[in-house]
Amino acid sequence: MALARTVVLGVTTNQARLRAIVSHPAFVAGDLHTGFLEEHLRGQRAPACPPPGAGRGPGRAAAASTRERLGAAAKRPIPERARPWRLGRVVIRLRCGDDERTAEVRPDGGATVDGETFAIAVEPAGPGTFVLVRGDERQIFHCVREGSTIHLFWDGVAYRIEEEAEGARPAQRRDKGGLEATMPGKVIAVNAAPGQIVKKGEELVVVEAMKMENALRAPRDGTIKAVAAKVGDMVGPGAVLVELGMTLPARVTVFEVGPRDGLQNEKAAVGVDDRVAFCDALLDAGLSAVEVGAFVSPKWVPQMAGSDEVLRRVRKRPGARTPVLVPNRHGYDRARAAGAREIAVFTAASETFNRRNINASIDESFERFREFVPEALRDGAWVRGYVSTCFGCPYEGHVDPAKVVEVARRLHDAGCHEISIGDTIGVGVPTQVTDVMGRLLEALPREALAVHFHDTRGTALANVLAALQVGIATVDSSAGGLGGCPYAPGASGNLATEDLLYMLHGMGIETGVDLARVTAASRALAPRLDHPLPSKYVQAAR
C-alpha cells in the first residue's frame, strides 16, 4: 500500500519489482533467505533506468517531471487560496512520516518554522512553483493541492501540509495504546505478560524478518493489559502485539496555591490575619506545599500586600514547603528578608501574554531570573518555575507545544527544581494534555514536572487524569476553587483542592491530605469573600 501511494519525482525506480517481492506469498509468510529472488522471482527483471537527463535534475526533482507524474491536477494553475504562502498570517503543520513541524506564515511572505525565520518570495516562480530564500541561498520547491491537503516537494522530500482552519484544534500526537509490528516476520521471543509493569525502552517482543532480529520495545512506561503475540506467530505490519495500559501514580503531591493564586484574583481583599489562619489550616490538613503569598507590587496586585508578614507568621511544619512568588530581584530581596526558603518564578509560552502579564518578553523574563535565581540556589533555596498559557492563550490562541517544551527546558536549565505547566485560561482537553506532557517527558525528568489546570470549561479533572496517566504526580489546586489570573481574561476557576482530593482518594491514590480539614479551611474563609465557594465538593457536602 505504501508503494502504491508513492509519488516518484524525476527518477524511475523499480517499484513494480518491489511490489512483486513484498506481495509474494513467501515474503508475507516470512520465508526469506538469500536465494529468495532466484527461487521465487526468476526471470523478472527490474526496469531499466532512463537515459541521463531524461526528467532528472541533479539532486532534486524537476518541475516538468513533477507535473507529469502528479497528473492533470498539477498542470492547472493553483488557485490563490491554494498557495499556502499567500493566505495571510496562518499556522500550518508540515509532516513527513513521524516528523512534524509547525510553520507560521505572515502576510509579508516571511515564515517561521520551528523558531527559524525564512523569507519566501511573494510571487510564485510559476504554477505550483515557489522560491524559498534563506540568507544567500535560494531553493525552489513545488506545490500541489489535493482537496484540503497541500503536498510540498522540496529537496527530494514530500511533505503533507495541513492549514489550521479558524477555530480548529491542531493535530496532536496520539498514543496508539500498544506495541505494533513494524514489518512482516515471525515472532521468536515474547518478554511480556498481562499485569507486568514495564519501563520505556524495555524489550517486549522480538520479530525475525529477513534473517534479522527486530527487537520491539515499550514506547513508554506502563502496565501490560494484554499480550496478543506468541512465539511462532507470523505477523504483518501494524499488528498489535502487546496492549499497553497506563500506570497511575500510587501517591500524588497536591500543591496548594489558594493563598496566592486563589486570593490574588478575588475582588474582596482578605486581611493578613485571615490569610495566615487560612495557610495554617491548610498545612494542618496535611498539605506538604502551600504557596503563601507573592512579593509583587501592591499597586498592581493589592490582594498580595503584606505577604512578608504572612510568610513570617505562618507556622512552619517539618517537611512542608511554603513558597512565595517573586517576579524580580527586588521581590527576591524582600522575600529573603522575610525568611523565604522556597520561591517561585513565572513566565509564559506566549509572548503576548507574557508582555501583558509582566511587561516583558519571554527572553527578558529569563534575563530577570538571571539576576537572582543563581544566588537563590547558592543560598540553598528551592525554586519552582511556572509556565503560563501552555494549552492556549487569550491573545494568540493556539500555543505551539514545541514552545512549551523550549520554555520549560530553559527553566530547568536555569536551576528550577520543579516546573508547573499551566492551562491559564482553562481551554485544554485531555488529548492535548497527553500530547504536551508526552513531549515534555521526552525532554525533562518526570519528577521535575507538575500541572496547573483551571476549570473554566469544566475539563480540569479530566485533564488531571490525563496527566496522571502519563505519570505526572504533582498537581496544583486551590482550596475552595478560588481565583485565577488577573491578567488573563476568562481565567476564572482554579481547580478546587477539595474536588481534586475527592477524585484522587476515590481512585485509591494517596495524598496524605485530610479532605474534611481542607473543606473546613475553605469554609472558614468563605465569609471574607463576596461569593460562594466554587468547589463542587464543598457545595455538595453541605
Catalytic residues: 485
Contacts 24+ apart (CB under 8 A), 510-514: 510/250, 510/251, 510/252, 511/251, 511/252, 511/253, 511/254, 511/286, 512/251, 512/286, 512/288, 513/254, 513/285, 513/286, 513/287, 514/285, 514/286
The letter for the amino acid at 505 is H
Angle between helices 351-358 and 362-369 (to 10 degrees): 50
CA nearest 159: which of 141, 178, 185, 140? 141
Count CB-CB contacts under 10 A for residue 18. Answer: 13
CA nearest 375: which of 329, 331, 337? 329
Report d(CA 118, CA 133) in Å as an integer: 7
Report d(CA 390, CA 279) in Å as an integer: 28
Grid cell locating 528: 471574607
The residue written with cell numbers 480540569 in the block is 460
Grid cell locating 434: 497527553
Report d(CA 235, CA 227) in Å as an integer: 14
Report d(CA 271, CA 37) in Å as an integer: 85
